[in-house]
Structure 1
Amino acid sequence: MGLKNESAAGLAEARLAEWRRVNYDGWRAMLDDKDARHAIGDDGKRYRVVSYALDDGDGRIRMSVAVDGGTWSAFVPLVRDEIMNADGTFVE
């Protein structure tokens, strides 16, 4: 029973959009770190938005964003991710 609603997905996509404007070195700097914040969705509910970077191998970095609304959704958050190659391009 994961969180599956448009507000949570919108928050995840907005966070990834912020990271798409950052270069490869910025993504590398995020490795071994985590950013957690609270945000209000367009449905007026409060969500927790956590983003973190993982080494995906061969120089690629995976930026993952997990969004939960508290309660049970904290155990199975909505997750979106993006992968950047070492040359700064994104994996499709």
Structure 2
Amino acid sequence: MGLNKDIAAQLAEARLAEWKRDGHDEWRAMIDDKNLRRVVGEDGKRYTVVSHAFDDGDGRVRMSVAVDDGGLSALVPLVRDDIMRPDGTFVR
């Protein structure tokens, strides 16, 4: 059936929202850390949510989240990311 992109996007955005509650210092502390979670989506399928923080230059920190359902989407997961500036605002 393939990856349910709506559910995958919801899971990715939820993970980014967790990070947005933290400040820039907390984001910087996570640089080069990866986090893997296995969650069950509202459709009952298991999803893998991998999040990674890295330095985006000029003091910015990029948070990237990839979501797949273990099938072919593991090769090309849905990816969402956000970038926080040193002042705590986000790049849009």
Per the shorter chain, which TM-score range? Answer: over 0.9
CA RMSD of aligned residues (A): 1.3
Report whether the alignment pairs 1:23 with 2:26. no
Deviation at 1:5, TM superposition (A): 1.3
Aligned to 1:40: 40
Question: Could you tell me how far 1:32 is from its partner in structure 2?
Answer: 1.3
Unpaired segments of 5 or more residues in structure 1? none
TM-score, length-scaled by structure 1: 0.93
Residue deviations 1:29-70 (CA, integer Å, cap 9, x gap): 111110101011111110000101111111111000000100
TM-score, normalised relative to structure 2: 0.93
Q: Percent identity?
A: 68
Residue ranges of structure 2 left out of the alignment (5+ in a row): none
User: Does the 8 Å CA contact 1:67/1:79 hold for their aligned counterparts?
Assistant: yes
CA contact under 8 A between 1:3 and 1:76: conserved in structure 2? no
Mapped partners of 1:4, 1:56: distance in 2: 29
In the comparison of the two structures, how many residue pairs are matched? Answer: 91
Q: Distance in 2 between matches of 1:64 and 1:3?
A: 19
* Superposition misfits of 4+ residues, deviation over 2 angstroms: none
Letter of the 1:74 partner, please give it: A
